Amino acid sequence: KGCAEKCYFGPRCRFLHDVGEYMAAKPADLGSTCVLFKTFGKCVYGVTCRFAQAHLGDGYQNVVNTDLAKQWEGKSPVRNNLSKDLQHQLRKRKFSFKKADEYLRGLAKPHGDGGKGGKATGPSTEEQEVSDCMTPKEGLGDGPECLVLAEQAEDPKPDSSQSPGPTDGEEASSIKRAGPVTDEDVIKLRSCEKKKLEIQGKLYLAPLTTCGNLPFRRICKRFGADVTCGEMAVCTNLLQGQSSEWALLKRHHTEDIFGVQLEGAFPDTMTKCAELLNQTIEVDFVDINVGCPIDLIYKKGGGCALMTRSNKFEQIVRGMNSVLDVPLTVKIRTGVQEKINVAHKIIPKIREWGASMVTLHGRSREQRYTRGADWDYIAECAKIASPMPLFGNGDILSYEDANRAMQTGVSGIMIARQVPVGALIKPWLFTEIKEQRHWDISSSERFDILKDFTNYGLEHWGSDTQGVEKTRKSTAITFCCRYIPVGLLEHLPQKINERPPYYMGRDYLETLMASQNVDDWIKISELLLGPVPTSFTFLPKHKANSYR
């Protein structure tokens, strides 16, 4: 970082302190242009940058383009970063979950079902009186009755059956307050007052786990994606303040309609995570993943398993909806078993629980990403879901597929990761749908897309060795091998589950991009990022061998 301050670890430090010695052992630069220096006027990686010759001056000092740097002063192209202060609060469990704790205490109270708690119910009589006080026909409630009810709601009379004295989570709520009712006290955001999710008819890029990273979303956004969503984030990891999980929530400033997707199996962690994100990041909606088919998630009760755990599912949806100021959406599949569809039974319940939209993937968990999506069933569910919007998902690889999908009555379509992968095969699919044409894109144009992805990756992951290799092995670019150029197709459009025989492209680069041999993609990466280190591997050994 260009600092020559004293190292407090002294002789115990295992790192180099001599910049000259470091530069002598550093591998050769990969190029003469640093995308960070060119874009922002300053490269924060300094001497560790693999393109450092573009911004190192005398004595290895980091050069700064003052005029360009001033344009970005106080600004950041990426939002939703995890601050050190917030991470410390989460790790020390000092973050306040006031709304979530209130909802969870309501779940724990005994109800009229013989003392068994756990089912989400409506508000208590006292809460209903406060809610009635705030209805439009009575005004917004600054009268004396509301003040009395507010004080009662804030400082309820202690129950003799409970242990005296508030707990740590109740200290703030037990303080007596005087004066008018504030939003933080009693007034709750009603569903009619929440921000609406107006995305009907828009093209929605699905949250692609391991592939839908920020650089790839920027590519899709440039080609016409209207709505983007971050990769699936595990709520427990977010609550623990894990930097790697919080990185999945980052939002580029070009993503004007952006949401995050959460995965979890229990109402306490999901509700708390929703409140955490509601207070700390900027999103337009929050999505619940009830469609993940992988065993690691399913066996813990998350993903598709929630479709079989209706009580927990209801508690999660109601709880998250109660703490969020933005719309809540849900992504589901047709069911768990292949020939037993249950989505049509669940969708009306999801609407009743307060979700603003549902997305239906036309396959079951057992099908994973194979066979065709059942769009007839999606059409049936779209009618059942009305007036709640329902987006359809599955087998969209051309504008004809998109047109047929919209004719089923869905509110919009989600472009996702079917096998072969829709948006990952051809991120320009959004342009084809909007312009209603087949784009016979050349190999040089496709290579330019890979170069842009590389530059975006260096911005996102860094231009040092670690960032370069992370960009190099990003799985998103390697799905291009499954694209068949329009000019080579026997008939249009390409079907999503059709695999061609090995073929020669119209030029060397097109042939190289059609290869499924890992060695050929190493060559492509070398064209983008220079020579591959001898110790570098794209994939685990067993996967690399299977590709060969």
**β-bridge mates for residue 288, sequence order:** 262, 330
SS3 103: helix
CA distance 416 to 229: 11
- The burial class, CB within 10 Å (0-12 / 13-18 / 19+), for 139 is exposed
Give start and end residues of each alpha helix (H) in 262-354: 267-280, 295-298, 310-323, 343-353
Active site residue 292: yes
Q: Are 47 and 60 in contact (CB under 8 A)?
A: yes
Tally of CB atoms within 10 A around 127: 16
Q: How far is CA 293 from CA 14, 259, 272, 366, in A?
A: 44, 21, 24, 8
Which residue from 421, 77, 486, 428 is spatially nearest to 219, judged by alpha carbons?
Answer: 428
Phi, psi (deg, nearest 5) at residue 84: -65, -35
> Looking at residue 495, what DSSP letter applies?
P
Which residue from 423, 438, 394 is spatially nearest to 228, judged by alpha carbons?
Answer: 423
Tally of CB atoms within 10 A around 15: 7
CA distance 420 to 292: 18
CA distance 212 to 485: 23
Task: Identify the helix (H) or strand (E) that includes residue 358.
Answer: strand 357-361
For 510-536, b where at least 16 C-beta lie within 10 A, e where not — what string? bebbbbeebebbeebbeebbbebeeee
**β-bridge mates for residue 361, sequence order:** 333, 393
Edge-first strand order for the sheet with 412-415 is: 203-205, 412-415, 390-393, 357-361, 328-333, 285-290, 258-263, 228-234
Count helices and strands (H / E) in the chain.
Answer: 23, 10
Structure-token pair, residue 536: 């570098």
Catalytic residue, from 292, 304, 381, 480: name it: 292
Q: How far is CA 16 from CA 45, 48, 465, in A?
A: 16, 12, 16
Q: Are 384 and 344 in contact (CB under 8 A)?
A: yes
- Catalytic residue numbers read 292
